[in-house]
Amino acid sequence: MYNKIRNISLILTTILLLGSCKDVLDTEPTTAIPESEIYKNTANIQTVINGTWRYLNDTYFTFANPGYSAFMRTSDAMGNDVAVTTKYGYRDPYAFTELYNPAAYRVRSFWTLLYKVIDNANNVIAKVDAAEGTQESKDILKGQAKTLRAFAYLNLGSFYQFSYLKDKKALVAPIYTEPSTTSTKGNPRATLEELYNLVISDLSDASTLLASYNRPAAEKYKINKPVAQGLLARAYLQTGAWDLAAKAAEAASAGFPLMTTAAYQEGFNDLQNTEWIWGHLQTNEQSTASYTFHYLDVSSEGSYYYSFMADPFFKELFDQNDIRYKLFEWDGETGREGFLRYKKFKFKPNLIGDIVYMRSAEMLLIQAESFAREGKTDEAISALNKLRSARNATLYTTTQNKDLLSEILIERRKELWGEGFALSDIIRNQKSVERKAYIDNQGSPIKVTVTTPTGATKIVNGQGHRVIKFPDGTNFTANSRYYLFAIPQEEGQQNPNL
């Protein structure tokens, strides 16, 4: 009896002693880092910039919404020159039935994407000064964060309200400049003027802060001074500050010479292209953004949707010597017969592709447009022709008796097709979407000759625009509510100040 009690008591005592260790209840996550660790020094803060960039580009909301590239595709799908097929992805934006719907998932995705970037940038901007690190490293981080923030607000300004030049007092979207906490209530919508003031001030600051930053050549996805200048040029273009726009555009493109005619045929998938100022690199491991090529790429075997076909009338804007004209081809594949490919975008062989954000060509066009609007005709023609000659296109002369500004805006469509400017240009310039069906005067489909996979030629109906009116049956007009991206339903529900 005594032994029995002793043995059991020993076990009990041991157990109760073990049971009193309470430190075992402290555990740490392995996939996340406590906030307190992040803002200790600038090396750690750099990770927030990197993580935010990844989020902006490589977050799947759906396969049709792979990060920011979905913004650009949506803009193009809602414009004049892409005849989006009925394939999955962008047929609803193309038909203007999606983005004005506050309940649409894409609407929520876009909003979430931009504001998450803004909050991360706000955290860096607010906390970098107190961290350990050199002043130079702090300046670079702050400059990059301000550029990211401005980039997000610039998108809000471009797609969520009509042109600044129409009504700069129009309310657009809430502005936040401080990190959000659990006590942050939603802010009211700011005016376009307030929003662009912030964008321009952030980008001006960034241009200063990034002055000494020397971006490694292989890392054109990082933000440096030319990137900030290029965005500044876009912002000035939006707000009608023509002179400043032209200057900023010129500054941005310095060191990024226009690509060769051969490089134009290479598929717009390589960050190392000489004229790319800013873009997003894709690797086998990080390739979400590349999914956008499944829509854009209409000629590679591995492309899945090939839904961004060109409007046949778009082809007619080019002259035949233009190197870009050679990218057109009537599709002869079964199921795609009669569609017009514009083979600008192509996957790399391993089915990834870098994403173009900003090129010198755009900067040239900003200069041309700004000069033209300012009345500096010679400078405008010079800038336009610099681009045209690089593309082997017929140069503009005053004797052609064509409106210079219109020519420049058409050149924008031709040069920047598929790069995300279609809808934002339509809104900015207060134009109407222009689309017509590919039929003749009698209403019959226009016939085109295609080459089938067997090599035989065949005459089929040419396929062009399918949607040539708004969903309510009315004709396209300028400044239509169908052009604007809606603020998501949830924002309306949770933001009392909206």
Partner 1 sequence: MRKIITSLFPVLLLLITTNSALAQQRVIQGTVIDASSQKPLAGVNVQITGQRQSAVTSTDGTYRVTTDLSNGTLEFSYIGYETARIPLSSTNFDIGLNIASKDLGEVVVVAYGTSRKDNITGSISTINNKQIENRQVSSISKALEGQVPGLQSVSASGQPGTDATIRIRGIGSINASAAPLYVVDGSPYAGDINALNPNDIQSISVLKDAAASVLYGSRGANGVIIITTKNGRSGEKTAINLNFTQGATNRAVRDYDQVSTDDYFKLYWQALRNKNVANGLTPENAARNASATIVTDLGINPYGAAFPQPIGTDGQLVAGATPLWNDNWSDVLQRTGSRTQGDLSFSGGTDKNTYFISGGYLNDQGIAIESSFKRYNVRANIDAKVRSWLNTGISIAGSSTQQKYPQSEDSNTANIINFTRLVPSFYPYYKRKPDGSYELDENNEKIYDFGAYRPSAAIPRNNLAASLPLDKNDINRENLALRTYLEGVITENLKFRSTYSVDYINSNTHYYTNPSVGGGASYLGSVSKSNVRTVAQTWNNILTYDKQIGDHHINILGGQEYYDFNSANISGSRERFVLPGLYEPVAASQLNSFTGSSSNYRLLSFLGRAEYGYANRYLLSASLRTDGSSRFAPETRWGTFWSVGGSWKLAEEPFIKNSNIFNQLTLRASYGGQGNDNLGTYFAYQGLYTIANSLGQGGTLTSRLPTPELKWETNLNFNAGLDVAILKNRLAFSVEFFNRQSKDLLFTMPMALSTGYSGYDANIGSMKNTGIDVDIRTIPIRKGDFRWNLDLNFSHYRNKITELPTKENITSGNKLLRVGGSIYDFNIPEWAGVNPENGNPQWYLADANGNKTDQKTSEYGKAGLFIQGSSIPDLVGGINNTITYKGFDFSALLSFSIGGKVLDNDYIQLMHNGSNIGRAWSKEILNHWTPENTITDVPRLTTDNLNWTSASSRFLYSATYARLKNINIGYTLPEQTSNRIGIRKLRVFALAENVLTFYGHQGMDPEQTINGATYFRYPAIRTVSGGIQLAF
Within residues 452-481, the interface with partner 1 by CB under 8 A covers 460-461, 463, 466-469, 471-473
**DSSP line for 325-351:** GGGEEE--STTTTTBEEETT----TTS
Pick the stretch among 99-107, 129-137, 232-240, 315-323 that binds partner 1 (CB under 8 A).
99-107
**Closest Cα to residue 267, out of 287, 292, 297?**
297
Least distance in Å: CB of 361 to partner 1? 25
The smaller minimum CB distance to partner 1, of residues 5 and 130, is found at: 5
Q: How many residues bind partner 1 (CB under 8 A)?
A: 119
Q: Which of positions 149-178 make contact with partner 1 (CB under 8 A)?
A: 173-174, 176
Least distance in Å: CB of 40 to partner 1? 12
Residue 350 binds partner 1, judged by CB under 8 A? yes
Least distance in Å: CB of 45 to partner 1? 9
Least distance in Å: CB of 405 to partner 1? 30
Residues 59 and 71: their CA atoms lie apart, in Å, by 13
The smaller minimum CB distance to partner 1, of residues 198 and 404, is found at: 198
Residue 304 binds partner 1, judged by CB under 8 A? yes
Q: Which of positions 182-241 make contact with partner 1 (CB under 8 A)?
A: 182, 184-187, 219, 221
Least distance in Å: CB of 382 to partner 1? 38
Residue 498 binds partner 1, judged by CB under 8 A? yes
Residue 130 binds partner 1, judged by CB under 8 A? no
Residue 286 binds partner 1, judged by CB under 8 A? yes
Q: Quick one: which of 120, 269, 290, 360 contacts partner 1 (CB under 8 A)?
A: 120
36 exposed, middle or buried (CB, 10 Å; 0-12, 13-18, 19+)? exposed
Least distance in Å: CB of 459 to partner 1? 13
Residue 30 binds partner 1, judged by CB under 8 A? yes
**Closest Cα to residue 151, out of 90, 71, 77, 240?**
71
Residue 493 binds partner 1, judged by CB under 8 A? yes
Residues 289 and 96: their CA atoms lie apart, in Å, by 24
> Which residues lie closer than 8 Å to 38 by C-beta, 6 or more apart?
44, 45, 47, 48
The smaller minimum CB distance to partner 1, of residues 198 and 363, is found at: 198
Helix H or strand E segment including 449: strand 447-451
The smaller minimum CB distance to partner 1, of residues 30 and 320, is found at: 30
Q: Which of positions 33-62 make contact with partner 1 (CB under 8 A)?
A: 33-36, 38, 44, 46-48, 50-55, 58
Q: Quick one: which of 143, 230, 338, 420 contacts partner 1 (CB under 8 A)?
A: 338
Least distance in Å: CB of 108 to partner 1? 7
Long-range contacts of 446-451 (CB under 8 A, 24+ apart): 446/312, 448/312, 448/330, 448/338, 449/330, 450/330, 450/331, 450/332, 450/337, 450/338, 451/330, 451/332
CA dist 225 to 148, 277, 365, Å?
A: 12, 10, 20
Q: Which of positions 376-435 make contact with partner 1 (CB under 8 A)?
A: none
Least distance in Å: CB of 155 to partner 1? 13
Other Cβ atoms within 10 Å of 142 Cβ, number: 23
Q: Which of positions 433-452 make contact with partner 1 (CB under 8 A)?
A: 437, 439, 442-445
Least distance in Å: CB of 268 to partner 1? 19
Residue 495 binds partner 1, judged by CB under 8 A? yes
CA 496 to chain centre: 29
Q: Quick one: which of 77, 223, 235, 281 contacts partner 1 (CB under 8 A)?
A: 281
| Exposure letters 6-15 (e unless 16+ CB within 10 A, then b) | eeeeeeeeee
Residue 124 binds partner 1, judged by CB under 8 A? no
Do the beta carbons of residue 410 and residue 434 sit within 8 Å? no
- Structure letter (DSSP) for residue 480: -
Least distance in Å: CB of 430 to partner 1? 24
Residue 144 binds partner 1, judged by CB under 8 A? no
Other Cβ atoms within 10 Å of 374 Cβ, number: 14
**Closest Cα to residue 177, out of 210, 141, 153?**
153
**Cα dihedral sign for 81, 86, 87, 89?**
positive
